[in-house]
Structure 1
Amino acid sequence: MELAIVIPSYKPDDKCRAVIDELIASQFSRIIVVDDGGEEEYASFFTKLKTFKEVTVLHHAKNQGKGRALKTAFHYILNEDIPVDGVITIDADGQHLLSDMQKVAEQMRETPDAVILGARDFTQKDVPFRSRFGNRFTRLLFRLSTGTVLTDTQTGLRGLPIQHLPLMLEIKGERFEYEMNVLGSLKRNEIPIEEVEIETVYLDENKSSHFHPLRDSFHIYKIFLFYGMSGGASLALDLGLYSLFIYLWKEDSPQMFIIFATIAARVLSSLFNYFVNRHKVFGQGSSKSFVRYYLLAAFIMAASAGSVHLLYTEWLGRGEVVLKVLVDSVLFIFGFIVQRAWVFRKEN
Structure 2
Amino acid sequence: MKLCVVIPVYNHEHAIGHVVSAIRQLALPVVLVDDGSTPACAAVLDELALQAGVTLSRHEINQGKGAAVMTGMRLAAELGYTHALQIDSDGQHDIADLPPVIALAQQHPEAIIAGYPVYDESVPRSRLYGRYATHIWVWINTLSLRIKDSMCGLRVYPLAPTLALINRVHIGLRMDFDAEILVRLDWRNVPIINVPVHVSYPIDGVSHFDLWRDNVLISVMHTRLFFGMLPRLPALLWRLVTGRAAMRRA
Q: TM-score, normalised by structure 2?
A: 0.84
Specify the alignment match of 2:91 in structure 1: 94
CA distance in 2, matches of 1:34, 1:161: 19
Matched, 1:145 2:124: no
Equivalent position SS for 2:174: coil
> Which structure has the higher relative contact order (CA within 8 Å, separation 6+)?
2
Match of 2:212 among 211, 214, 232: 214
Structure 2 counterparts to residues 112-261 of structure 1, below 5 A: 112-121=109-118, 126-149=122-145, 150-166=147-163, 167-171=165-169, 172-203=171-202, 207-224=205-222
Structure 2 counterparts to residues 102-113 of structure 1, below 5 A: 102-113=99-110
Can you list the C-alpha shifts for 1:14-52, whole angstroms capped at 9, x where unaligned? 221101011112211x20000100122223212211210
Unmatched 5+ stretches in structure 1:
228-280, 283-335
* Matched pairs, number: 232
CA distance in 2, matches of 1:48, 1:220: 35
Equivalent position SS for 2:8: strand
Deviation at 1:223, TM superposition (A): 4.2
Report the structure, 1 or 2, having the larger helix content: 1
CA distance in 1, matches of 2:205, 2:12: 13
Unmatched 5+ stretches in structure 2:
236-250
Percent identity at matched positions? Answer: 27
Can you list the C-alpha shifts for 1:80-131, whole angstroms capped at 9, x where unaligned? 3x23231100000001111212222111011111101111135x65431122
Question: How much is the aligned-residue C-alpha RMSD, in angstroms?
Answer: 2.3
Matched, 1:52 2:15: no
Structure 2 counterparts to residues 261-340 of structure 1, below 5 A: 281=224, 339-340=227-228
Equivalent position SS for 2:84: strand
Q: Which amino acid aligns with 2:101?
A: V
Kept after mapping to 2: 8 A contact 1:90/1:96:
yes
Report the structure, 1 or 2, having the larger strand content: 2
Deviation at 1:155, TM superposition (A): 0.5
CA distance in 2, matches of 1:220, 1:145: 14
Deviation at 1:163, TM superposition (A): 1.9
Can you list the C-alpha shifts for 1:263-310, whole angstroms capped at 9, x where unaligned? xxxxxxxxxxxxxxxxxx56xxxxxxxxxxxxxxxxxxxxxxxxxxxx
Specify the alignment match of 2:241 in structure 1: none
CA distance in 1, matches of 2:217, 2:13: 26
Q: Which amino acid aligns with 2:82?
A: D
Bigger Cα Rg: 1
Specify the alignment match of 1:235 in structure 2: none
CA distance in 2, matches of 1:105, 1:174: 26
CA distance in 2, matches of 1:134, 1:169: 31
Specify the alignment match of 2:229 in structure 1: 341
CA distance in 1, matches of 2:61, 2:202: 27
